[in-house]
A and B are shown apart, each in its own frame.
Chain A
Amino acid sequence: MARGGKFFAFFATVAVFILLEIAAVSLLKRSSTLQDIWINRFSHNVMAATWGGLTRIGSYFSLREQNDILAGRNYELFKELQRYKEMEKAVQAMAKLDSIDFQTRFNYVPAEVTAMGTNSRHNYIIIDKGGEDGVLPQSAIITPNGVVGMIYSVDRHYSYGLTLLNERVSVSARIGKEGIVAPLTWDGTGTDHAILKDIPLHLEVPVGDTVLTSGISNVYPADIPIGVTQGSRLIDGAVNVVDVKLFVDFKALRYVIVAENPDREFIRRMEE
């Protein structure tokens, strides 16, 4: 009880002090122009600092929402870019384009990473989109920065895939826009590193060249950047392998895009 009384007395004292100071400041504002300007400026500064602080706190707590918006915008831009890339290829291939109503070869579905492994030799990824969202097995998992992996199996709302950090996954890659095509696989040495295999000995691969998806595949869209070359080395005295530093940071991966080729079944039947 005594403690409650002390608290009340303390708050009453503080309240009276604040009220008296406010009253004195009000009197001063009315009686002096200089002090009036100074007090107004001071109060504006305090208000600006307060609102600025509140806005910063609000922005911090809305980061998740902002991230989602940015990921969505990223996805739209990626789709747009892919459309232009494929259109450019088609233009080059066909000599003339009859219609600008060009349809992209791949269907894209944005997704968020639900779970992912990076510590074993057979790493996986689970995303929050499944069959009901249009995801099919053997679709590519990509980001605008590079290849992530491939869908292995699909549930109604989730999909399970194998990442590039899995020895069973191989991606057809090209060094530069017009360079040699070779399979790219993970060598198990690090999450940011892969190798291009079966490079003929007579070919010199410059360091720093961009490695892209070749498009000679019914899984991955063409010209998705994968990484940069870091140098080559001789294996078994017969072929070279090229070390590639990957663009995708697998440890910080959160948003991906599933690219599904609707003609894949048709192409497979033709191959048979």
Chain B
Amino acid sequence: MKSYRFILLCVVLMVAQVFLVNYFSLSRYVVISLLPAIILMLPLKMGTVPSMLLAFVIGFVVDFFSNGMLGLTSIALVPVALTRFGVYGMVFGDEMSSRADVVSISRLGVPKMALASLLMCGLYFLVYVWVDSAGTVPFWPAFLRFSLSVAVCTPVSVLVSKLLRPE
């Protein structure tokens, strides 16, 4: 029952992401993405390879239905899935993943979840901004875009985490 709810919420968040990209643009320096939080909250029993495949598919679907460039989101999201367990180990400790626990904000606390979200969003936007700029944007505007996007998306990711696993 819980997994059905999780899958349903993931689909809703993907649709929300498509709407955000198509109809809700804060600024050219701020990109809002809910996708790193979805990857962060995937079940621990899902290994790295399935997580990467899922990240690729999610990125492809979001790019397909939005006006964005096909492949851009997948390029940025797959490394997030690759480093997911590394971030868990760094922020929550190794024993958590070895016990196959569930990542939830109520168990691990807001500060740790915020730190994990920061790392995930940081990696996501590092790749996203770099590839999107394609060598045509100078360093400081690109850095500003990266910083503002990470600053906005980290608290958003914490909220999404709370939504996905409220227990």
Contact = CB atoms under 8 A, between A and B. Distances in A.
Contact of A13 (B49, B72, B131): B49
A1 interface: no
Contacts of A37: 134
A21 B70 contact: no
Given A13-B48, A32-B69, A24 B56 contact: yes
Interface string A25-47: 11111111011011001100000
A30 B49 CA distance: 25
A20 B78 CA distance: 7
A28 B135 contact: no
A108 to B, nearest CB: 59
B41 interface: no
Contacts of A69: none
Nearest to A26: B71
A34 B72 CA distance: 12
A24 B49 contact: no
A225 to B, nearest CB: 56
A13 B84 CA distance: 13
A38 B74 contact: no
A24 B59 CA distance: 9
A17 interface: yes
A24 B60 CA distance: 8
B74 A24 contact: yes
Interface residues of B, number: 22
Contact of A20 (B56, B63, B72, B136): B56
Given A17-B82, A24-B59, A24-B78, A35 B53 contact: no
B75 interface: yes
Nearest to B60: A27
By DSSP majority rule, is chain B's interface helix, strand, loop, or mixed?
A: helix
Closest CB pairs A-B (n = 9): A27-B71, A28-B71, A38-B134, A24-B74, A31-B70, A24-B75, A24-B71, A32-B69, A27-B70
B37 interface: no
A38 B135 contact: yes
Contacts, number: 66
A16 interface: yes
Nearest to B59: A24
B52 interface: yes
Contacts of A24: 56, 59, 71-72, 74-75, 78
A54 interface: no
Contacts of A31: 69-71
Which of B56, B69, B71, B131: most chain A Cβ within 10 A? B71
Interface residues of A, number: 22
Interface string A112-139: 0000000000000000000000000000
A28 B82 contact: no
Given A29-B71, A35-B72, 10 more contacts: A13-B48, A13-B52, A13-B82, A16-B49, A16-B52, A16-B53, A17-B52, A17-B78, A17-B79, A20-B78
Interface in B27-85: 48-49, 52-53, 55-56, 59-60, 63, 69-72, 74-75, 78-79, 82
Contact of A12 (B49, B55, B78): B49
A77 interface: no
A12 B52 CA distance: 12
A23 interface: yes
Nearest to B57: A20
Nearest to A23: B56
A163 B57 CA distance: 78
Contacts of B75: 21, 24-25, 28
Nearest to B48: A13
Contact of A35 (B56, B69, B74, B78): B69
Contacts of A21: 75, 78-79
A238 to B, nearest CB: 80
Contacts of B131: 28, 35
Nearest to A36: B134
A145 B63 CA distance: 72
